């Protein structure tokens, strides 16, 4: 089956360039130039991966990402951004994005990120062995990538879902950070990669009463993380 990629990008030249390169790689591509149109195509087209620019006219990329997740669409979202601060990256992850790449980006790196996201999307949509997880006041529905807390539904990105699933397999035990990078992102020997750390920050903001003093997702410095229910 041909993977469907949705590109939500307001710069026509960049959008067309992405479409040409993605189609050359064998993907089916749809283009939207606004957040509203992108949300409509995401709901109707059910893409396998979404490339989402942050700086969009009308509703911006952050709002669009949140709306996509609110509509139950679980395809990986890669945010294309000229914003490179940790705050902006964490904000995107908080709203359900799975990865980000900073403009101007290397095309080979973008294609590699898309391939990695697609490889990990298929297992996520399969039924989970453990469908429900309770952490503190939060109930996590792993099969729906959804967190419920204080009467609210909070969408999870599929990388966040995978992190929680792996940590929950051995609650109270330290899970090596490199193990998470390898199992989820397929990355080996990349000690400076911040993907795990940024998603952990995002998860704490969703689960913990005080993310700065976490009680459930604990850092074990020099080793990794552990989950305390």
Q: How far apart are CA 178 and CA 184, in angstroms?
A: 10
The confidence band for 85, taking pLDDT boundaries of 50, 70 and 90, is low
Contacts of range 61-66, beta carbons closer than 8 Å, 24 or more positions apart? 61/8, 61/35, 61/92, 62/91, 62/92, 62/95, 63/35, 64/8, 64/35, 64/38, 64/39, 65/92, 65/95, 65/96, 65/97, 66/95, 66/96, 66/155
184 sits in the region (left: phi over 0; alpha: psi -120 to 50; else beta) called: alpha
Query: Which of 10-19, 120-129, 157-166: highest mean pLDDT?
Result: 10-19
pLDDT of residue 1: 64
- Of 82 and 128, more confident: 82
Report residue 123 as tokens: 């297992």
The confidence score (pLDDT) of residue 142 equals 86
| pLDDT value at 98 more than 60 | yes
What average pLDDT does the segment 91-118 reach?
86
Go through the domains of the chain in sequence order and give each one's CATH number.
4-125 (3.40.50.2300), 132-227 (1.10.10.10)
126 falls in which pLDDT band (50, 70, 90)? very low
pLDDT score recorded for residue 135: 94
* Higher local confidence (pLDDT), 92 or 204: 204
pLDDT tens by residue, 4-25: 999 999 999 999 999 999 998 8
- pTM here? 0.64
Between CA 106 and CA 1 the distance in angstroms is: 27
Of residues 90 and 79, more confidence is placed in: 79
**Alpha-carbon distances, residue 191 vs 78, 101, 182, 187, 226 (angstroms):** 22, 19, 11, 10, 18
Check whether 131 has a pLDDT greater than 50: yes
Render pLDDT for 36-72 as a digit per residue (tens, 0 to 9): 999 999 999 989 999 999 999 989 999 999 999 989 8
pLDDT of residue 124: 44
d(CA 219, CA 33): 40
Q: Which residues make Cβ contacts (< 8 Å) with residue 24, sequence separation at least 6?
A: none
Beta bridge pairs of residue 102: 81
Whether the pLDDT of residue 225 is over 60: the answer is yes
Least confident of 53-57, 85-89, 113-117, 201-205: 85-89
Centroid of chain to Cα 68: 12
């Amino acid at each position: 089956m041909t993977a469907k990629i949705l590109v939500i990008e307001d710069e026509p030249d960049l959008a067309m360039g992405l479409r040409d390169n993605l189609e050359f790689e064998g993907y089916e591509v749809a283009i939207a130039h606004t957040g509203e149109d992108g949300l409509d195509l995401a709901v109707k087209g059910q893409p396998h991966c979404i490339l989402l620019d942050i700086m969009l006219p009308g509703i911006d990329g952050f709002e669009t990402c949140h709306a996509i997740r609110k509509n139950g669409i679980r395809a990986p979202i890669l945010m294309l951004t000229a914003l490179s601060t940790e705050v902006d990256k964490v904000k995107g992850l908080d709203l359900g994005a799975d990865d980000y790449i900073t403009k101007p980006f290397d095309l080979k790196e973008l294609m590699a990120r898309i391939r990695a996201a697609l490889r990990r999307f298929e297992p996520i949509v399969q039924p989970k062995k453990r469908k429900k997880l309770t952490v503190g006041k939060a109930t996590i529905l792993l099969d729906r990538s959804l967190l419920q807390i204080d009467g609210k539904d909070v969408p999870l990105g599929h990388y966040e879902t995978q992190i929680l699933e792996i940590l929950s397999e051995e609650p109270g035990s330290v899970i090596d950070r490199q193990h998470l990078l390898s199992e989820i992102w397929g990355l080996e020997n990349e000690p400076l990669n911040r993907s795990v750390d940024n998603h952990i920050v995002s998860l704490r903001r969703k689960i913990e009463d005080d993310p700065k003093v976490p009680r459930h997702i604990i850092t074990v410095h020099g080793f990794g993380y552990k989950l305390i229910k």
